[in-house]
Amino acid sequence: MTAVHVPGTPIIEDGRLVSTSPATGAEAGRLPVATAEDVGRAVDRARAAGEWWAGLGFGGRRERLLRWRSLLARRIEEIAELVHTEGGKPVADAVVEVVTAVEHVDWAARNARRVLGPRRVRSRLVLAEFSAHLEYQPYGVVGVIGPWNYPVFTPIGSAAYALAAGNAVVLKPSEYTPAVGQWLVDTFAEVVPEQPVFTAVHGLGDVGAALCRSGVDKVAFTGSSATARKVMAACAESLTPVLLEAGGKDAMIVDVDADLDAAAEACVWGALTNAGQTCIGIERVYAVEPVFDAFVGKVVERAGRLTVGPDNADIGPITMPSQVEVIRRHIDDALSRGGRAVLGGADAVQPPYVRPTVLVDVPEDSAAVREETFGPTLTINRVRDADEAVARANALSYGLGGSVFGRRHAVAIARRLRSGMASVNSALTFAGMSTLPFGGVGDSGFGRIHGEDGLREFSRAKAITRRRARSLLPSTTFERTPADVARLVKAIKVIYGR
Ligand code: NAD
C-alpha cells in the first residue's frame, strides 16, 4: 500500500525536499536536501565570504543591505504570492509580513554603525591614565534556523541584524517553506553577487541539527520550545552561543475602562491572523467581570464575520496538517471540562481548515489555556480585576508577548506581565517596531532580535584600554613600591570610603 500524501506535508523524493500547498497539494518548491557534509561545506564557504563581508565595513554593508531592502519592496507581490502558495496564508497577511521584514532590513542597515561601531567610553578615576574603547565585532558565521509560520519575517528578524553586524549567514528554513527561504537567499545574491554571504541549506530537523554542530559561531533558532531544547543541547557540545525564539501562549487583558470595540477588533486580529499560527498570537483573554459579557459579544460578532477558505479569505488552511489534531484536542478538552463554545466548537475543525472558535469559562488547567494551540481559537475567561488577570496571565512557563486594553492602569499592567514584550491598546504591534527588541522569557526562549539589542546579539563586545599617561598610582606592576600601595589605599578611602 502506498502512503497517501497529505497536502502540505513536506516529502523527500530523489534527494529533493518537496513542499506542497496545504490548501491544494500543488507542488510549491523542490530543493536539494543537504547532507551533514554539505552543511559543513556551506559553513566553510560562508566563513570566507564573511571575512570579505566584514571587510566591507558598515558603509559597504549598509549600501548593499539597502539595495536588498529595495528589491524586497519592489517584488513584494511576488514573494507574498509564494508565501501564500507554500504556507497557505492569505496574500494580505503575507504582504503585512513582508512589509514588517522590509522595515527591519532598513533599520538594521541604517543603525549598525551607530550601535556597534567603535567609540570611546569614559575612563574611571583610578585608571584615569588609560583611555577606554569599545566596539562590537561580528561573530563570523551565524546559523539561522527558521519556522514556517512567518517564513520571511522570522529569518529576516535574525539574518538582517546578523548581516548588518558583519556576519555571514547560513539559513536552514523550515521544511514546510523551503522555497520562501531559497527566494530570500537568491534575491540577496542578486544584490551581493560577489560572495556567498547569505546562503541556505535544506532538509528536515536533522539538517538543523547538523548546522548546530557545523562549527558556526552562533545559532539563532526560531521554532518550538521542544526543538529549542534540542538546539541548545547540541550547541552545548561545542559551547556555541544560542539565541532561542520559541513558542508562546500570549494573553490579552481587558480592564474595566477599556474601549471594548477597539479591544475586540485587536483581539480578533491578534488571535486569528494567519489562522492563529503566530508565536505572539493572542491565545487567551482575561476580561474583568463588569465588561466580560459585552466584550465576548463584540468578539463573537467580529470573528463570526470572517471568511475561511483557500483564496483571499480572511483565514487560510492550517499549514502543518499534524497541527489540526492538536487544535481538535484543545477544543474537545475545553468543552468536555465545562468550557462553552460561543463561536465554532468541535465541528469547526474541517481539515485543512478550522473555523474561528471562541471558548469561554474554560478551566485554567485545560490544554486550551496552558498549551500552545496554534490555531484560530481563543479562550476568554472572566476575572475579578486586573490583579487576578495578571496572576493568571503570568501563571504559565511561556512568556513571549501580551496585550492590555484599558486607560488608567494599562501601562502599569503591561509592565507587570512576565513577558519580553507587550502592546497597550493594540495587539502584536511591538513585532513591527524595528527600534524595539523582540524575544521572550522562560519557555519562550532568551536573547533578543530587532532593535539595538538585536544588533548586539549578533556581535561580540570588544574592549580595548590604551595608555595615555604615566601611572600616578602604579598598582598593576611589580615595580610598585610600598609607598605606591599606601598612596593607593589612601586614594581609595578618599574616593569611596565616605
Ligand atoms: P519546529 O521547532 O518544529 O521547527 C523549527 C525549525 O527547527 C525547523 O526548521 C526544523 O526543521 C528545525 N529543527 C527540527 N528539529 C531540529 C533539531 N533537532 N535541531 C535543529 N533544528 C531542528 O517549529 P515550527 O513548527 O517550524 O514553528 C512553530 C513554532 O515556532 C511555534 O512554537 C511558534 O510559537 C514558534 N515561533 C516562535 C517565534 C518567536 O519569535 N519566538 C516566531 C515564530 C514561531
> What string of pLDDT tens digits covers the 498 residues of the chain?
445 788 999 999 999 999 999 999 999 999 999 999 999 999 999 999 999 999 999 999 999 999 999 999 999 999 999 999 999 999 999 999 999 999 999 999 999 999 999 999 999 999 999 999 999 999 999 999 999 999 999 999 999 999 999 999 999 999 999 999 999 999 999 999 999 999 999 999 999 999 999 999 999 999 999 999 999 999 999 999 999 999 999 999 999 999 999 999 999 999 999 999 999 999 999 999 999 999 999 999 999 999 999 988 999 999 999 999 999 999 999 999 999 999 999 999 999 999 999 999 999 999 999 999 999 999 999 999 999 999 999 999 999 999 999 999 999 999 999 999 999 999 999 999 999 999 999 999 999 999 999 999 999 999 999 999 999 888 899 999 999 999 999 999 999 999
Shared domain for 218 and 283, answered yes or no, is no
Cα separation, 8 vs 202, whole angstroms:
17
The best mutation among 222, 430, 457 to test binding of ligand 1, ranked by most ligand atoms within 8 Å of the C-beta, falls on: 222
Res 1: pLDDT: 44
Angle at 157 between CA 151 and CA 159, to 5 degrees: 90
Kindly state whether residue 166 falls inside one of the protein's structural domains: yes
Alpha carbon distances (Å) from 80 to 84, 90, 176, 177, 389: 6, 9, 16, 13, 37
* DSSP β-ladder status, 250-254 and 403-405: parallel
Alpha carbon distances (Å) from 456 to 43, 114, 390: 22, 11, 31
* DSSP β-ladder status, 141-145 and 423-424: unpaired
Cα separation, 98 vs 104, whole angstroms:
10
Strands (E) across 330-434 are located at 340-343, 349-350, 353-354, 357-360, 377-383, 398-399, 403-405, 423-424
Which CATH number does the domain housing residue 269 bear?
A: 3.40.309.10
In this structure, how many other beta carbons lie within 10 angstroms of the beta carbon of residue 232?
Answer: 17
Shared domain for 240 and 256, answered yes or no, is no
Kindly state whether residue 438 falls inside one of the protein's structural domains: no
CA dihedral (252, 253, 254, 258) in degrees, to 10, reads -90
- Spatial CB neighbours of 259, under 8 Å, sequence gap ≥ 6: 405, 425
Proportion of the chain in helix, strand, coil states, percent, rounded to 5: 45, 20, 35
Residue 238, C-alpha cell as written in the block: 561545542
Kindly state whether residue 440 falls inside one of the protein's structural domains: no
Domain count, the chain: 3
Kindly state whether residue 201 falls inside one of the protein's structural domains: yes
Please name the residue whose Cα sits nearest to atom 39 of ligand 1.
245
pLDDT 10s digits, 222-277: 999 999 999 999 999 999 999 999 999 999 999 999 999 999 999 999 999 999 99
Whether 209 lines ligand 1, by a CB cut-off of 6 Å, is yes
Res 3: pLDDT: 58
The best mutation among 224, 373, 430 to test binding of ligand 1, ranked by most ligand atoms within 8 Å of the C-beta, falls on: 224
Place of cell 519580553: 420
Q: Is 245 a catalytic residue?
A: yes
Cα separation, 346 vs 359, whole angstroms:
11
Provide the 8-state DSSP code for 480.
Answer: -
Shared domain for 228 and 261, answered yes or no, is no
Q: How far is the CA of 408 from the centre of ligand 1 (A)?
A: 38
Shared domain for 223 and 272, answered yes or no, is no
Strands (E) across 256-385 are located at 282-288, 340-343, 349-350, 353-354, 357-360, 377-383
Q: Is 194 a catalytic residue?
A: no
Kindly state whether residue 439 falls inside one of the protein's structural domains: no
Shared domain for 241 and 254, answered yes or no, is no
Kindly state whether residue 441 falls inside one of the protein's structural domains: no
Residue 276, C-alpha cell as written in the block: 492563529
Place of cell 487560510: 316
Whether 145 lines ligand 1, by a CB cut-off of 6 Å, is yes
The best mutation among 145, 176, 327 to test binding of ligand 1, ranked by most ligand atoms within 8 Å of the C-beta, falls on: 145
Q: How far is the CA of 221 from the centre of ligand 1 (A)?
A: 7
Kindly state whether residue 338 falls inside one of the protein's structural domains: yes
Instruction: Give the burial string for 57-85 (b: 16+ CB within 10 Å, else e).
Output: ebeebbebbeebbebbeebbeebbebbbb
Q: How far is the CA of 153 from the centre of ligand 1 (A)?
A: 14
Shared domain for 308 and 219, answered yes or no, is no
Q: How far is the CA of 147 from the centre of ligand 1 (A)?
A: 5
- Spatial CB neighbours of 169, under 8 Å, sequence gap ≥ 6: 46, 141, 142, 143, 144, 158, 159, 162, 163, 197, 198, 199
| Domain span including residue 474 | 468-496
Whether 250 lines ligand 1, by a CB cut-off of 6 Å, is no
Res 256: pLDDT: 98
Which CATH number does the domain housing residue 36 bear?
A: 3.40.605.10
Amino acid sitting at position 58? F
Cα separation, 375 vs 275, whole angstroms:
6
Shared domain for 139 and 273, answered yes or no, is no
Shared domain for 210 and 312, answered yes or no, is no
Taking Cα atoms as reference points, which of 97, 240, 100 lies closest to residue 177? 97
Whether 240 lines ligand 1, by a CB cut-off of 6 Å, is no
* DSSP β-ladder status, 242-245 and 445-446: antiparallel
Q: Do the Cβ atoms of 395 and 300 come closer than 8 Å?
A: no
Res 240: pLDDT: 98
- Spatial CB neighbours of 37, under 8 Å, sequence gap ≥ 6: none
Shared domain for 313 and 171, answered yes or no, is no
Q: How far is the CA of 3 from the centre of ligand 1 (A)?
A: 26
Shared domain for 100 and 230, answered yes or no, is yes
Kindly state whether residue 312 falls inside one of the protein's structural domains: yes
Please name the residue whose Cα sits nearest to atom 9 of ligand 1.
174
Shared domain for 192 and 327, answered yes or no, is no
Shared domain for 187 and 313, answered yes or no, is no
Whether 202 lines ligand 1, by a CB cut-off of 6 Å, is no
Cα separation, 189 vs 199, whole angstroms:
8
The number of helix segments (H) and strand segments (E) in the chain equals: 16, 23
Provide the 8-state DSSP code for 174.
Answer: -
Please name the residue whose Cα sits nearest to atom 4 of ligand 1.
223
Whether 281 lines ligand 1, by a CB cut-off of 6 Å, is no
Q: Which of 97, 245, 372, 457 is catalytic?
A: 245
The best mutation among 227, 232, 237, 282 to test binding of ligand 1, ranked by most ligand atoms within 8 Å of the C-beta, falls on: 227
Q: What is the mean pLDDT of the chain?
A: 97
Whether 248 lines ligand 1, by a CB cut-off of 6 Å, is yes
Cα separation, 380 vs 251, whole angstroms:
10
Whether 9 lines ligand 1, by a CB cut-off of 6 Å, is no
